[in-house]
Every structure is written in structure tokens, then in C-alpha cells.
Amino acid sequence: MGMTITEKILAAHADTKEVHPGMLINARVDIALGNDITAPLAIGEFKKAGAATVFDRDKVVLTPDHFTPNKDINSAQQSKVIREFAREQRLTHYYEVGEVGVEHALLPEQGVVLPGDLVIGADSHTCTYGALGAFATGVGSTDLAAAMLTGEAWFKVPETMKIVFSGKLNRWVSGKDLILYLIGRIGVDGALYKAIEFTGDTVKKLTMSDRLTIANMVIEAGGKNGIFIPDAVTKQYVRKRAKRDFTFYASDPDATYAQVIEIDVGAIEPQVAFPHLPSNTRGISNVGDVKIDQVVIGSCTNGRIEDLRVAASLLKGRRVAPYVRLIVIPATQEIYRKAMREGLLEIFVDAKAAVSTPTCGPCLGGYMGILADGERAVATTNRNFVGRMGHTGSEIYLANPAVAAASAVMGRIAGPDELK
């Protein structure tokens, strides 16, 4: 019996010929990732275990991206813990303020994660790296501590759900809309502990940016991991970044799937997820009149250069609506630099937006855009739970960068075609 790409990667890292859904395995990890929120806990457990050195200083990655540059004393203390640990362990991949980016945009950009890898991270959106054809999933800080020590982690092999996207994308529809549409269709627990494999003729034409966005949000459907079978697009992306060998895996023709869902993307318009679930989606034509107070364009979901280009194309020559705040956050320093060279930052500033250094910031209600009671925000981020971006009485509407930019200009949730 054949295996899926997820099963093949797990089998290879467990040094076994084959695995099947439901099996419990120990597997070698290629990357173990922590950030300034989760890594201090893992480091504490690592030291409690009496460990002296990490299993491989090239494979433990620390990124202070959530509350940095430090917003207060507590965040400064958290960052100090991982900085000192990185120095002590001589970690190859530690990124200080000034070079750090939002982790799930930074690691693919820097070639740290590659096709065929098995990646765990103490952050739920670690699933992003499935866009490269890697098995990647979020874990708790104690599991991260164990992996830092042993180089291994345990898994229950997930069933796989196959999503087949076919057809031509409509104007202004992007990867964000495809994943929001899927989550709206199956619900936030529709793929609970399942691998979600994306395929179809539409997928073959998707940019790596769109693939990263889609994989990023599989956790919002309950997925264990999301994954794309690597192809020419993948090869072009990684060949100029990779500093080590990588492997392209593919699902067997006779692989078994728990469910197959076929979606005609021609029926999808830009999507907006209403409060307070990513599954509470509506097409832009059915949004109605929703006044807003703030727009955030950025995050590990939609802070890449392609996202900023789309937003800038709509904001050029326009200004943000009165009493509306627009915050733009390039996801990495390299993206920031590209946006600067291309004149995008000037467009944002001319439109009266605030441009930030790379940070997760407002996405998790950290800083750089906290909402007050009763305020509404349109965000290109990945979650709109109660209180996610500030006060429990605030509301978050998830959308793609084009809708976010148009909404900032109109002062209400709006589609790009409404701009005159």
C-alpha cells in the first residue's frame, strides 16, 4: 500500500520502511524552533533535566520575534534568557533584533527549513513550512526541550485529507482566500489532527508566497500539518537559499486518504472572516457596511513582499480614511529592505500608514496595535478569537492584503474594486 508525502517523511525520519495513520513513532528532527515566548520555558526544562549541550547547534533555532524590540521589562527578560542560551550553546541560527524577522517568514527565506525536513516548533503556526514540502508542526515547550536535548520527538502518524484546488483564480483572490474559504467550509475542527495535502492544477500555479500563507493557516482548521508536494516552484525558491541537501517527496498514486475535497476556485471571491472564528467567513460581496478603526498588514501569514506590493498598488496616491489607523509590518528585514528599494515604504508613509520593524506585535495582542473596547480591525493575520488583538470587546476581521488596503482607504470593510 502506498504512502502520502506526510507518511513518507515521517517514515524516513523514524528510520522505518513505512508508517500508517495511528502509529506512534519517535522521529529525528531537522529543526527545533523556539521564540521569545516559548523558548524560555523550554530552556528552563532543558536545564532542569541536567542537560549541558543541545543535540546539534545547527538544528536548534531561536527567534525573538513576538515582543521584540522589547516592549517592557518582562519581554526584555524573556529575550535575555534566549540570547544568553544562544551564546552559551553557540547556536548557528539565533537572530537578534536588526536581523530577526517573524519566524515563519524568516526560516524559509534564510534557507533554514528545506523540502523533506521534519520540523517542530513551539509555536502553532510552525505548520507554515509544509509549503516547502516539509513535515512541520507545532509542539509544547516541554516537547521542544526534549528535542533540544535528544534530537527526537514523538508523533502519532496523522490521517491525511486531500484538498484539490482547480480552476483559475478570480481577480484579487489569493492564497489567503483559498484557506479562509476552506476553513469556512470544513470548520475550525474540520481537519482535527489530520495532515492536509494540497494539490490540483490551481496549486501548480500558486506562488511560494501563496503556498506559505495556505500552509500557515491549516492549524486554524485543526490540522496537524499542511503540505504541498514540491515542484518546479519549490525548486526555484530553495535552490538559491539551501546550504545543505534536501529531498523532494511525493505521495504515491495508491496512497490512502481519509477524505478528498474538490474545490473550484473560480467560485471563490475575496473572503473575510468575521469575529470570532476563522471559519466565520463571507465573500466580500456579502460583507455589508462594517466600519473599522484599524488595519494591520503583516504577520507570518501575509507580511511577505508580494503582500506589500499588492497593498502598495492600491494605496499609491490614496490616503487612509480619517480616524482609521493603518499599520504595515514587513515580516523580515530582507522584506523591509526590498520594500524600501521598491519605494513601497514611501507609498505607505504617504498614505499615512505607520511602518514597523519586523515583529509579530499586534497579531497576538502583544503591542504595535492593541485594540480598545469596541474597536474593529481588519487584519491579514491568522486568528480573530475574542481578545486576540486586545480588549475582549474588540473585533477582528481577517482578510487578504488587497481587502485590507482597500478597507483602510474606505474606512469600512471594502473590496479593491470599490476604490475609484
pLDDT digits (tens, 9 = 90+) for 371-407: 999 999 999 999 999 999 999 999 999 999 999 999 9
Nearest to 383 by CA among 228, 148, 219, 137: 219
Positive or negative torsion for Cα 181, 268, 266, 168: negative
pLDDT bin (cut points 50, 70, 90) of residue 145 is very high
pLDDT score at 396: 98
CA pair distance 200, 357, nearest whole angstrom: 37
The number of residues in the chain equals 420
Map residue 121 onto helix, strand or coil. Answer: strand
- Is-contact 241 247, C-beta < 8 A? no
Phi first, then psi: give them for residue 295, nearest 5 degrees.
-130, 135
Beta bridge partners of 227: 197
Structural domains in the chain plus CATH codes: 5-263 (3.30.499.10), 272-418 (3.30.499.10)
- With 80 as the cut, is the pLDDT of residue 420 above it? no
pLDDT bin (cut points 50, 70, 90) of residue 41 is very high
With 0.75 as the threshold, say if the pTM is over it: yes
Nearest to 218 by CA among 64, 6, 373: 6
